Amino acid sequence: MLTYLLIKVSRYMKTKMDQSLKSIALTSSQFSVMNQIDLMGNRGVANEIAEQLGSDRPTISGIISRLEKLSYIEKFKNDYDRRSEFIKLTHLGQEKLKEARKIADALSSEFFKAFSIEEKEKLEKQMLFLVEKLER
């Protein structure tokens, strides 16, 4: 039952995020890719991004292509592996990510307003523990 509830909450939150990000012409998937690039020190390759997001390479490649057309990311030469390119956020992409994070933060506040600070902290610790355990 817990897995079902987590999936249901996740889908609800993704739908709400997509609806909210429409105001800045971004999808939750695009936001996730941009956020992951930033978390990787604003330098990553598609395979690493896909792995970190638990997605497949073709899906991430499609999102990367759309973000590149929007000038939110740019690719540059990978001297370590000629089969791949590094990806980084452009200045425009960094600004768009800031806007998206504000929206995400507002949604978080809305989603968890019924929780006390202690309950939110406990839930966050439990979720981080679960993510770490699943990534091993």
Residue 99 three-state SS = helix
The pTM of the full predicted model, rounded to 2 decimals, is 0.87
Mean pLDDT (whole number) for 3-13: 93
Which one-letter DSSP state was computed for residue 79?
A: T
Q: What is the pLDDT of residue 105?
A: 95
Phi and psi at residue 85, to the nearest 5°: -125, 150
Which one-letter DSSP state was computed for residue 23?
A: G
What Cα–Cα distance (Å) separates residue 66 from each residue in 29, 30, 49? 11, 9, 15
User: What are the extents of the domains in the chain?
Assistant: 12-135
pLDDT per residue over 21-38, tens digit each? 999 999 999 999 999 999
Q: Please say if the pLDDT value at position 134 is more than 90.
A: no
Please tell me the distance from the alpha carbon of residue 134 to that of residue 136, in angstroms, as a whole number. Answer: 6
pLDDT per residue over 57-105, tens digit each? 999 999 999 999 999 999 988 777 777 789 999 999 999 999 999 999 9
Please tell me the distance from the alpha carbon of residue 15 to that of residue 135, in angstroms, as a whole number. Answer: 25
Q: Determine how β-strand 73-77 pairs with β-strand 85-89.
A: antiparallel
* CB 70, CB 58: distance < 8 Å: no
Please tell me the distance from the alpha carbon of residue 60 to that of residue 45, in angstroms, as a whole number. Answer: 10
Q: What is the pLDDT of residue 84?
A: 78
According to CATH, the topology of domain 12-135 is Arc Repressor Mutant, subunit A (1.10.10)
> Residues of the chain with pLDDT > 90: what percent?
84
